Amino acid sequence: MRQHPVLLITGAHGQLGRCFEALSRQYPQWTFLLAGSDVLDITDRRAVRRFWEKHRPDWCLNCAAYTAVDRAESEPEQAQRVNITGPRHLAEACAQMGSALIHFSTDYVYHGKHYLPIREDAVTRPRSVYARTKLAGDRAILRHCPTSGMVIRTSWLYSPYGHNFAHTIARLGRERSELRVVFDQIGTPTYAPHLAEAVLRIIEQTHAKHTYNSIAGIWHYSNEGVCSWYDFAQTIADLKQLPCRITPIRSEEYPTAAVRPPFSVLDKAKIKAAFGLEILHWRRGTEQWAMQTA
């Protein structure tokens, strides 16, 4: 294991990948290999193998994912390729070449009647193509890279980059007089820069120990606190001083192709205790997002 790690960021053009790119300036001694699908197609096993043989990354941070939740219902094959086949190829390469893999997953794999924050050992009940493919990808990581594969399930991810709920509310709030947003789906928004910062701190701690065993398994990370999509939208409207009215509605009044979990607040005690992380409240993240996108 090198003194200064080489990090491969797959899905580098997505919102989480771009957060790692922005933070890379704070780690000048580390090498960041930023690979969008134009550089590395993770669904191509031979391409993955050639990339490892050439660059020998110590860490792979898999930010590549098919995240079009509703469209996945009509494009299951594409979702399977990106969310299952790709992660399996990465896990195989990491296991064979002695690399560590951090894979990002979703709260949508949990769809039970929860009312307390969900722990990592909770039963999974995915109800959509997106959620089922993400769960299958998680299992591929744990099966093919059992001693150095870290699956981080997060929730309601947004950032200053790309397409996400926060940007959509900000845009539509300037175009319309009223936005109707569901209030009966409960979770926690996660500001992607906060997740990326936490992951780099975990790598910093783990790499210094010259072993990957401490990261293996399933972990939860989101910002602290609890809210509905309506609460999140209202906070965005207040911070951005949007002229529209935000009206709460039930999920049945806004039908979607994919079913969403009614409650998916994640318990983060495990990751906080293991790595000494201090996690900020989701409102702090939203305030930072509002400033970044002013």
Q: What is the pLDDT of residue 170?
A: 97
Q: Does residue 269 fall inside a structural domain? A: yes
Determine the average pLDDT of the residues in 80-91.
98
Q: Does residue 159 fall inside a structural domain? A: yes
The boundaries of the domain holding residue 133 are 6-164+190-224+265-279
Active-site choice (66, 108, 110, 130): 130
Query: How many separate domains does the chain show?
Result: 1
pLDDT digits 0-9 by tens, 112-158: 888 899 999 999 999 999 999 999 999 999 999 999 999 999 999 99
In percent, the amount of the chain with pLDDT more than 90 equals 94
Q: What is the CATH number of the domain that holds 122?
A: 3.40.50.720
Q: Does residue 177 fall inside a structural domain? A: no
Is the model's pLDDT at 254 over the cut of 90?
yes
Residue 254 catalytic? no
Q: Does residue 98 fall inside a structural domain? A: yes
Judge if pTM exceeds 0.95: yes
Query: What CA–CA distance (Å, rounded) separates 34 from 278?
Result: 27
pLDDT digits 0-9 by tens, 19-71: 999 999 999 999 999 999 999 999 999 999 999 999 999 999 999 999 999 99
pLDDT digits 0-9 by tens, 166-207: 999 999 999 999 999 999 999 999 999 999 999 999 999 998
Q: Does residue 86 fall inside a structural domain? A: yes
Q: Does residue 254 fall inside a structural domain? A: no
Q: What is the pLDDT of residue 1?
A: 67
| Mean pLDDT estimate for the chain | 96
Is the model's pLDDT at 163 over the cut of 70?
yes
Token look-up 């039930």 returns: 250
